[in-house]
Chain A
Amino acid sequence: NAGVTQTPKFQVLKTGQSMTLQCAQDMNHEYMSWYRQDPGMGLRLIHYSVGAGITDQGEVPNGYNVSRSTTEDFPLRLLSAAPSQTSVYFCASRAGGSPGPGNTIYFGEGSWLTVV
């Protein structure tokens, strides 16, 4: 089982460049989301999607775009990278409906992004 797959694992960007972090899941999960993880802070929600064609903003959406054209894929786009976006990014997914035992959140292995 591949689960949640993220690419690339590591990326260095120059300020102002744009890029896309890829996320794919093979569990037919309806719900997908992107988080960032910074030192001394818990995971913070950037954007999420409850199904194909539906996306919404999380806690820290500024500077990021998402789209959900298929159930499997949920790419995160950095429009114009800034040093403040240096972070570790995690994609997550779960089945639809209310989360609970048997319907929990699964994470990818992360993408380490440095903006110089």
Chain B
Amino acid sequence: GESVGLHLPTLSVQEGDNSIINCAYSNSASDYFIWYKQESGKGPQFIIDIRSNMDKRQGQRVTVLLNKTVKHLSLQIAATQPGDSAVYFCAEKGTGNQFYFGTGTSLTVIP
């Protein structure tokens, strides 16, 4: 089955800096990916998604990059703010429209 991994379990950044959170996936046939933000004690919140026919997609202060050659997904957060402190995880659509979720990277923003 699919497995979704993250490169680093924790990430600390200075307020105002850019953050990059990475994710590796295993199924080269996966065609849809999602990034979620999860604050302590809350449910996963949709941030941004991307189809496999795209390499890059931008939202408000966030950009998702997809490298299908190495099966790698990244989330870039511009001008990181204290409110961005949370766990971020990626999701990969596998076979049968089922999703597989990564374990998450905990982002801490240092004021």
A interface residues with partner B (beta carbon < 8 Å)? 4, 6, 35, 40-45, 58, 90, 98-101, 104-110
Could you tell me the distance between the alpha carbons of A77 and B100 in the complex, rounded to whole angstroms? 23
Q: Decide if A98 touches B97 in the complex (CB within 8 Å).
A: yes
Q: Which residues of A contact B101 (CB under 8 A)?
A: 35, 42-44
> What's the minimum C-beta distance from A5 to chain B, rounded to whole angstroms?
11
Main secondary structure of the interface of B (DSSP, over half): strand
Main secondary structure of the interface of A (DSSP, over half): loop
B interface residues with partner A (beta carbon < 8 Å)? 4, 32, 34, 36, 41-46, 49-51, 89, 91, 93, 97-104
Q: Decide if B42 touches A42 in the complex (CB within 8 Å).
A: no
Could you tell me the distance between the alpha carbons of A90 and B41 in the complex, rounded to whole angstroms? 12
Given contacts A90-B44, A98-B97, contact A42 B49 (CB under 8 A): no
Query: By CB atoms of chain A within 10 A, which of B43, B50, B103 has the most?
Result: B43
Could you tell me the distance between the alpha carbons of A6 and B99 in the complex, rounded to whole angstroms? 21
> What's the minimum C-beta distance from A4 to chain B, rounded to whole angstroms?
8
